Amino acid sequence: MNVLVATPVNDENEYCLDIFTRQLRSFEYVDYDTYLVDYSKDPLYIEYLWNLGLNAERVQPEGSVAEYLCKCYNAIRDKVLYEGYEWLFLLDSDVFVPLNIINYLVKQRNHVHTFAYYINDEAAKCLKFESENKDELIGDYYKPVSECRLGMDFDVYSIGLGCTFIHRNVLEQIEFRTVGKVGCDYFFYEDIKRSNIRSVIDTNIIPAHYRSESFVTDLKVYQ
């Protein structure tokens, strides 16, 4: 079951690009590829990504932020559909997850499987995990936490796309779209709900979110 790990990127997140690149190259799942869609204002930033050995293409940032991000997501969608991937793992370039998370997600087989993380809190620095059998999923990667309600039986239809696993059957039915300044994440969940496609939020894992350069040295497992 081949997986495409992909995300829109720009040079504003360069502060964590090195560690994100290491994450992209370190997932324990065997059959996956990576793909970045660059929307930086600097047209030469794509060459920097290529020099790092990253599989990347450029989308010209024209129109509103919502419009050119939507173009990025549809470029990713097209790659999944045209090149025969079964799963898409959307993972923002400042978001960090257990390195064997793809193995975990493929086993669950939810058509849309998503995670929530902190946006601008100090808690965003630490990936959090708790389970009755944590070793099965993450081994010694991260320390557990017990403050959050745990489970995977919660449906959600309003959340971002920054850490979301999607089956190709969903992408065959749903194209990313936007209206004005409203982001395509909003319409994606509206459209799948209208199509009776279940979206599951997994609260067993809260990904780490590197909101600024000061966060980067805090997750020692990547050093």
What's the confidence (pLDDT) of residue 116?
Answer: 85
What's the confidence (pLDDT) of residue 7?
Answer: 97
What's the confidence (pLDDT) of residue 218?
Answer: 46
Indicate which CATH number applies to the domain containing 200: 3.90.550.60
Q: Predicted confidence band at 181 (pLDDT cuts at 50, 70, 90)?
A: confident
Answer yes or no: is pLDDT of 96 > 80.
Answer: yes
Average pLDDT over the chain, rounded to an integer: 83
Instruction: Give how far Cα 220 sits from Cα of 70, 143, 216, Å.
Output: 34, 11, 9
Tens of pLDDT, residue by residue over 183-200, are 898 899 999 999 999 999
Tens of pLDDT, residue by residue over 100-157, are 899 999 999 999 999 988 776 666 555 655 444 444 443 333 333 344 445 555 677 7
Answer yes or no: is pLDDT of 164 > 70.
Answer: yes
CB 4 within 8 A of CB 79: yes
Between helices 184-194 and 65-83, what is the axis angle to 10°?
50
- Quickly list DSSP for 151-173: -S-EE-SS--STEEEEEHHHHHH
Cα–Cα distance measured from residue 164 to residue 137, given in angstroms and rounded to the nearest whole number: 17
Answer yes or no: is pLDDT of 36 > 50.
Answer: yes
Q: Which is more confident, 215 or 117?
A: 117
Phi-psi region of 84 (alpha: psi -120 to 50; beta: other; left: phi over 0): left
Instruction: State how many domains the chain has.
Output: 1
The pTM for the full model equals 0.86
> What domain range is 212 assigned to?
3-222
